Amino acid sequence: MDDNTARQLADINAAFYARRAADFSASREGPWPGWRRLHGLLDAEGLPAAARVLDVGCGNARLGRFLAEARPALRYSGLDSCGELIAIAQAEGRLGTAPEFLEIDLVGDDLTAALGARRFDLIAGFGLLHHVPGRARRRALLATLLARLAPGGLMALTCWRLVAFARFRDKIVPWEAAQPPVDPGRLEPGDHLLPFGDGGGLRYVHFAHEDETAELLAELPVERVASWRADGQNDELNQYFVVRATRPRP
């Protein structure tokens, strides 16, 4: 996907999250049930008490609060392009020891430069990949994040299983509704406009099958630690992937 189209899609989402930050945050107050399994896995894998955690697309940082409940020494870094959500996250607090926030746009900003020399024991991307425009960008993002894992570190992702549910497919809005306009000929299969909740504001979402996430990971130097399905009414909403890097990080 060309840079201009990716920028347009990222701008649609930036406008949505800036405008609806309070409502969106209110709809994401508690942890996802699937995180309980992650919690047990992190214990089993020996995550250090003072683990460095990077939460990419952190929103209101509910993941940080969930993890810090059991691990108060946790060092949390929340990364998001939405200043309004970061402000909510900071006001909520309860994020372990010396939390930091990075206001970064994954489409327009240089993530490698922004992260500097930081390394992490856990990098999470929950509810994120469907907002990253273009398969090549999703792959590049995962590669950049992997390179930031400390030795033995884990990367955990979710794939929102939009394709599996008629209730999401039925809500897709034609691209003609995009403001400013987007040329549908420049999009990739599975790229859609979806209203939030009962219709308040449109977001760009990529309807990825979990096979796409698995394929992206298979192209990278990782080994699968665990994968499970959880969340939503029948534990079918998200596919989780937890991987570790298989090559020594520089």
Ligand X SMILES: C[S@@+](CC[C@H](N)C(=O)[O-])C[C@H]1O[C@@H](n2cnc3c(N)ncnc32)[C@H](O)[C@@H]1O
Interface with ligand X (CB under 6 A): 10, 13, 17, 28, 57-59, 62, 80-82, 85, 105-107, 126-128, 131
Where do the H-state alpha helices sit in the chain?
3-26, 34-44, 62-70, 83-92, 111-115, 135-146, 166-169, 210-218
How many C-beta atoms lie closer than 10 Å to residue 20's C-beta?
20
Nearer to ligand X, 5 or 13 (CB): 13
Nearer to ligand X, 106 or 245 (CB): 106
Distances (CA, A) of 207 to 115, 130, 153, 191: 28, 7, 28, 6
Nearer to ligand X, 163 or 221 (CB): 163
Closest CB 151 distance from ligand X, rounded Å: 25
Nearer to ligand X, 25 or 52 (CB): 25
Closest CB 66 distance from ligand X, rounded Å: 10
Closest CB 141 distance from ligand X, rounded Å: 9
Side chain identity at 91, as an amino acid letter? A
Distances (CA, A) of 170 to 44, 164, 165, 184, 193: 41, 11, 9, 19, 11
Nearer to ligand X, 165 or 221 (CB): 165
Closest CB 159 distance from ligand X, rounded Å: 12
CA–CA gap between residue 50 and residue 208 (Å, rounded): 34
- CA 8, 10, 11, 16 dihedral sign is positive
Closest CB 38 distance from ligand X, rounded Å: 12
